[in-house]
Structures are given as structure tokens and as C-alpha cells.
Amino acid sequence: MTRRLLGAALAAVTAGGGLLAAAPAHASATKGEVDFTGIVALSNCSGSIVRGPLSRDTDAALVMTNGHCLETGMPKAGEVIVDRPSGRTFDLLDRTGRNVLGKLRATRIEYATMTDTDVTVYRLNTTYRTIRQRYGVSALKLSLARPHAGTRIAIPSGYWRRTWTCKIDGFAYRMKEAGWTWKDSIRYTPECDIIGGTSGSPIVDTRSKRVVGVNNTGNTDGERCTLNNPCEVDRNGKVTVRRGIGYGQQTYLLARCLTRGNDVRLDRGCKLPRPARR
């Protein structure tokens, strides 16, 4: 997981999911085609304001990050969280990434899981229209289409105020890390050498400017299927370890599950994991 910080800013992740770290340095603003519009910083991760194809300006806005960035700790394998109250706050950045425009606050966790994918969606106490009027910031649009290998992407991190750019190298049929398994994960080319704190950053198609995924992990030490060392598993069960390579989770399934009112509806053909029946 790329929630924890590496190098000079080493962090201690507690059992409750907290992060103890120095404040991030104001690194360089974006390079190239994608800026920090719609990007937020969390206490331990990165994130973005997103909207689906049916989202309206008057809807309560959504912030997307990773499931493993939850303030309550990482969900267990098979766990799906819906409609849970939350008061989490987010720093909203300006387009350069150098300045904080203000704080946004969640009212609830709309959806979160680390099963099949690694995503959390927070519902805010303010609308897209209000955010645009107050701060001049628009939300990023989620793509409905599955991305393709070779697509040029940008990964803007709100935590680090830095953007990584590379291409989609391909896809992992299954990816395993510790007790979690993810499906159809995005694999980056080596230029996206993501670090701790980039968890939850959006993966943006630089041509369409739409979000095609959410950054979540990388193989740090070359270990096999351990925490911070995900491995790929193909359809025949063959395991491949790629040290130093980063990964993200696709978001087109999330986009297809967002209905009017910005609700994540898990029926009507939605293919996201659902909570276990009791």
C-alpha cells in the first residue's frame, strides 16, 4: 500500500489506521497537461473530487481515495462499507498544488472496500456548485470506459503536491497483497515510481482528462504477495513479482454505479462488491 511514507519521512501506521509523519514538503506543481484542479490532500493519503455521468451541480460532492486510507483502518478482505457517518476533512488545493484553498468536510462514507478493488467514496456537506463558486474548482469526471494499454496517464498526489506521468503498461488479471485480492488492476510503466502518500491519487487519462483509476500500491522490496509487495496472478495461477512497479484500480465500474443524487447503487447491474448478507 502506498499510504505509508518512505525515505526521510518514514511513518508509523498504527493498528487504527493512523499515520504519524511530518507535513509534506511543497514539491513542484504539475508538469505537463494535468494540473491539481479537483485534487485534495488527506492526513495520510491523496484524493480527488469526482463526479459521475449523472451527477448534477446541486448534488453533494464526492471525494474518492483508497479503501486502505479509511480513518477507521483498512477494511478486511470481503468487507464492504456503505452509508457510514464520517466527519473527515480534506485540504482542497489550487490548480498549481502549492496552496490550500480551504477545507472540505465529509458527512458520510458512501462506499468503501478493499475487495476486488481498493476505493473509498466520501459524500461531502457541500455541493459541486458551491465548491466551484467559492473556490473556482470543478470536479474531475469519472470515465465510463475501461482504459487501454498504452494510454498516457498522470497521477497527481495531493499529499505530496507532485504529479507522476507515464503510460498504462498493461493489466493484472488478479493482484494479491497480504490478505487482499484485486481484479483487473492497472500496471504502470516504470516512470510512475510512486511512493508512500500517493495512495488514493486519481489516475487521469491525459488526453480525455477523465479519471480512469485510483492509485493504490507498488512492489517495494521484491517480495511475493506481502504487504507493500503485491504480486500478479494470471488466469492459470502463475505468480509474477515486479519489483519497483506501481499499480492502480480501475474506476469505470464505480462510474457505472453512480445514479442520480450521487448515490452508489449496488443493484441494477452494478458490479462492485456488495456487503455480505446477515
pLDDT at 277: 76
- Of the candidates 82, 97, 89, 130, the one whose C-alpha atom is nearest the C-alpha of residue 24 is 97
- Of the candidates 33, 90, 102, the one whose C-alpha atom is nearest the C-alpha of residue 62 is 90
DSSP state of 204: E
Q: What is the mean pLDDT of residues 120-139?
A: 98
| Phi, psi values for residue 254, rounded to 5° | -60, -45
Q: Return the bridge partners of 214, or none.
A: 202, 249
What residues contact residue 266 under an 8 Å CB cut-off, 6+ apart?
82, 257, 272, 274
> Mind listing the pLDDT tens digit for each residue in 47-80?
999 999 999 999 999 999 999 999 999 999 999 9
What residues contact residue 150 under an 8 Å CB cut-off, 6+ apart?
167, 168
pLDDT at 33: 81
> Mind listing the pLDDT tens digit for each residue in 81-106?
999 999 999 999 999 999 999 999 99
Spatial distance between the Cα atoms of 6 and 9, rounded to a whole number of angstroms: 6
Per the model's pLDDT, the better-predicted residue between 10 and 219 turns out to be: 219
Q: Is the pLDDT of residue 254 over 50?
A: yes
The rounded mean pLDDT for the chain is 91
Q: Is the pLDDT of residue 157 over 70?
A: yes
Confidence of residue 278 (pLDDT cuts 50, 70, 90): low
pTM of the model: 0.91
Determine whether 66 is exposed, middle or buried from the number of CB atoms within 10 Å of its CB (0-12, 13-18, 19+). Answer: buried
pLDDT at 28: 43
Q: Is the pLDDT of residue 32 over 70?
A: no
Q: Return the bridge partners of 116, or none.
A: 182
pLDDT at 219: 98
What residues contact residue 104 under an 8 Å CB cut-off, 6+ apart?
40, 49, 61, 63, 89, 90, 92, 124, 126, 131
